[in-house]
Amino acid sequence: MQANTPASSEFPPIKYVPLLVPLLGLLQLVGALLILVGALGGCAAIERQQAADTEKLLAAAGFQMRPTDSAERQQDLANMPPHRIIARSEGAETVYTYADAQNCRCLYVGGARAYAEYRRLEVSEEIARDMSEASMNAASMNWDVWGSWDPRWVPTAF
């Protein structure tokens, strides 16, 4: 009768482990690159959406959209700061411009009235977003637990 020997002596030593180490390192690198690409893609999508939202407000406020329909305009648009409203004086008037070389490839141009209307619309949009968030929070709030802002309020159900 033969004595039991450990199972590890029955099999040859594994020689594949040294090959797995570089492969695991490569997989980690690929995973990190995929996460980075996803994050950057998400940031670009958010920036595009913000630019589109701003452009809707500019158009509603009375800014004129001027497309880059010539090489000279394309070059000039590329040299402007992107996605920022810039004020500059032209004689006695102030002209406001907004350059978008990535999305619409256009320039929005407006005067003082259009800019004032844009600011009013921007504030209105912000208030609407805040109210929407507040209503969602209020709908999920259990007011019987927390009470009302009114010190005379008394919960009805106990």
Q: Which of 134, 85, 139, 142 is closest to 114 using CA atoms?
A: 85
- Total of domains in the chain: 1
Which domain does 64 fall in, by range?
21-139
The letter for the amino acid at 156 is T
Asked whether residue 13 is domain-assigned, the answer is no
> Structure pTM?
0.58
What Å distances lie between residue 37 and 31, 34, 47, 49, 145, CA to CA? 10, 5, 15, 18, 45
Question: Is 73 among the domain residues?
Answer: yes
**Chunked in runs of 10, what are the mean pLDDT values of the chain (158 residues)?**
56 61 70 71 72 90 94 92 92 94 91 95 86 67 63 62
Which amino acid is located at 6 in the chain? Answer: P
| Distance set, CA 77 to CA 26, 38, 118 (Å) | 42, 29, 21
CA 144-146-152 angle, to 5 degrees, is: 75
